Amino acid sequence: MISKLLIANRGEIAVRVIRTCKRLGIKTVAVYSDADRDSPHVKLANESVYVGEPSPASSYLKISNILEAVKKRKPRRCIPVTDFYPKKANLQKHYKKRMYYF
Render the burial of 38-57: b for 16+ CB within 10 Å, e for the rest.
ebebbebbeebbbbbeeebe
Q: Structural domains in the chain?
A: 4-97 (3.40.50.20)
Share of the chain above pLDDT 70, in %: 77
Tell me, letter by letter, the H, E, C secondary structure of 14-82.
HHHHHHHHHHHCCEEEEEEEHHHCCCHHHHHCCEEEEEECCCHHHCCCCHHHHHHHHHHHCCCEEECCC
Residue 38, pLDDT > 80, answer: yes
Averaged pLDDT for residues 51-64: 81
Residue 46 has a pLDDT of 97
Give which of 102, 95, 84, 79 is closest to 16, Cα–Cα: 79
Band the pLDDT of 26: cuts 50, 70, 90: very high
Say what the pTM is: 0.77
pLDDT on residue 75: 80
